[in-house]
Amino acid sequence: MHLFKIVSDRKKSFNKVSSYLFESFKEYVNKNFSFFFSYYKFFYGLNKETLRRKVTRRIAVLYSNQKGSHDKSLFISQLPKYLILYLGLLFYFLINSKMLTKKKYDLIIYDIYYYDEITRIRRLIDYFDKNKVVIFVQDKDKRYANYNTIYFQNFKRYSLFLTLKILFIEIFFGIPFYLFLSTIYKVNLFPLAMRIINNYNKYSTHFYFNSSKYLYMERCIKIDPLMKDIFHKNHGKCLFTSQKSNLAGDQTSLFYDFDVFFTLGTKSHLRSNQYSSRIKKAVPIGSLFHHQRLINYKTKKLIKDPNYEKYHYDLLFVGGNMMNCYDLYDDYDDFLKDYYDTIRWLVRIKEKKPYMRIGIKHHPTAKEDKFENEIIKNSDVESVDNSLESYQLVLNSKICATHASILGYESFLLGKHCLFLDPQNNSKFISYKNENALVDKYRASNFEEFNEKLELLLNKDKNFIYYDKKSLDELVVHVNDPYKIIYETLLNYK
C-alpha cells in the first residue's frame, strides 16, 4: 500500500485509531526508505533507526487530522518546487553561517520562547549556578541580560565549516539521489531531506560549540529524535524535559526521546508508550507551573492574591487551546460537536441553576472563539479574561470542570473537585475510561451525568465525594522542591 493511502477513519475517535495510523506510517517507512537512510548513514554517520523515527514522526506531523489526508508537500507533483526551495535553503545556510568558538557549560536550556519560561525554571538555574548555564532564546527580552544567552533563529548562525561540507555533499550527491528516490517511491523526499539536514546542521553546531553535560528541552512535544543522538555524540550526558500538560492521543505524543522525563504524576507519561517513545527514566515532580505561580519559597505557603477576591465562581470551566489548533484537534467527524457540547452543558446548567455563577477561563494564548461566544450569548455564563491567573481563579471557585486542562488534576491538590467533561468518552486529553479511578469517578460523558454529579458535589454528598491519593499521584504529585529533585537526579544519572 502506498503511503498516501494510509489515512485515518474520521468516523472513529482519533484516540482509538491514532496508534494504528502511526504504526502503519512506521511500517511503511521501515519497508520503503532503507536506501534513503543509508545515504545519511554513509555521508553523515547518522543512526538509521533514529532516522526512521524522525521521518515517521515528520510524516505524522505533516498529516492533516482535520482533512484526513497527507500534506501536499509530499506529493510528487511538488518535486520541482521543493528542489528550488532546497537549493535556496543550502545557500541561505551559507550566507548566514559563522566562524564560531567553543564554549563549555554544565547545562544548556533549549527552545525558550518567552522570559516567563525562564522564571519557571529559575530555581533550577540557581542550583547549577547561572554562570555555568547557557540559554537558547528566540526573543530579545532585555530581562535576559543577567544570563548567558544565545539568540537563536532557525537556519542562521550555523558553523561555516560544517555548512560548506553539507553544501558540497548535498549538491553533488544528495540532490541527484533525492530526485532518483523520489521518482522510485513516488513521494517527494525534499521536505524530509530539508528537515533532516537543517536539524543535523543546527544540533551539530549548537552542541559542538556549546558543550554541556545536561540539556533541558523546554517543550517535550517538539523533541526531535536526532537531538539526543547528536547531543550524546558531542559528549552530552543527559537530555531531559519536564511534563507540562496531559499527553494527548495524537502526534504531539509521538516518538519522545529523552534520557530523563520529569513527569507530572507516577503514570502521567505512560500514554507516550503507545507512540513508540524511548524514555530511559521517568521521575514524578508534579507541575512546575504550580510552583512558579502559587508557591512563595520564603514562607513555603500558597500565594493568595487579594485582587482576585471579586472572582468567585460556583463552577469554573478551565479550557485549553482548541481554537488555536483546529487543524490538529479536529481529528474525527464529531469532534467539534463533542467539544462544544461541553460549553452547551454549562449553558444548560445555568438555565437549571440560575443562582450559580459560572465562568469559562481559557489559556492565556487562546484566541477568540466565535463558536463559544455564540453558544454562551445571552446565557449569563461568563467568559473570564484570559490574562487572569488560572490558579487564583481555581482557589476562589467552589467546583471546577474541564475537557482537557491539567489544571483539572491540580485542582484536587488545591482542595477542590473537578468534573471531567468527556462527551461520548472521546476526549484524547484526559485519562481514558478505566485508566484512572479518580477521573472515572468524576467523568461525565453526557449532560445527565454532569448535572447529577454537579448536584452531588454542591450538596457535599459524602457517598459520592471521592479522594484517593494513589489515583491522584498517578495524574499529578505534589513535592516540596521539584527543582532539587531534578538537580539531584541529574547529578546521579549514569
The per-residue pLDDT for range 447-476, each reduced to its tens digit, is 999 999 999 999 999 899 988 899 999 999
Tens of pLDDT, residue by residue over 144-191, are 989 999 999 999 999 999 999 999 999 999 999 999 999 999 999 999
Partnered with residue 150 across adjacent β-strands are: 136
Would you state the pLDDT for residue 44? Answer: 98
Cα(457)–Cα(468) distance, rounded to whole angstroms? 16
CB 376 within 8 A of CB 401: no
Tens of pLDDT, residue by residue over 317-330, are 999 777 667 677 88
Decide if pLDDT at 298 tops 80: no
SS3 198: helix
Looking at 297-311, 387-401, 464-478, which range is the least confident one?
Answer: 297-311
Tens of pLDDT, residue by residue over 47-99, are 999 999 999 999 999 999 999 999 999 999 999 999 999 999 999 999 999 99
Looking at 132-136, 207-211, 242-246, 325-329, which range is the least confident one?
Answer: 325-329
Decide if pLDDT at 226 tops 90: yes
Alpha carbon of 481 to those of 129, 153, 394, 455: distances in Å? Answer: 17, 34, 22, 37
The b-or-e profile of 217-249 (16+ CB within 10 A means b, else e) is: bbebbebbbbbbbbbeebebebbbbbbbbbbbb
If one counts every other C-beta atom within 10 angstroms of the C-beta of residue 473, the result is 18
Tens of pLDDT, residue by residue over 405-429, are 999 999 999 999 999 999 999 998 8
* Residue whose C-alpha cell is 464529531: 334
How much is the average pLDDT of 361-386? 92
SS3 364: coil
Closest CA to 390 of 295, 290, 246: 290
If one counts every other C-beta atom within 10 angstroms of the C-beta of residue 19, the result is 15
If one counts every other C-beta atom within 10 angstroms of the C-beta of residue 456, the result is 15
pTM of the model: 0.94
Would you state the pLDDT for residue 489? Answer: 98
**Domains recognised in the chain with CATH numbers:** 3-97+157-286 (no CATH), 301-475 (3.40.50.2000)
Strands 295-296 and 301-302: antiparallel
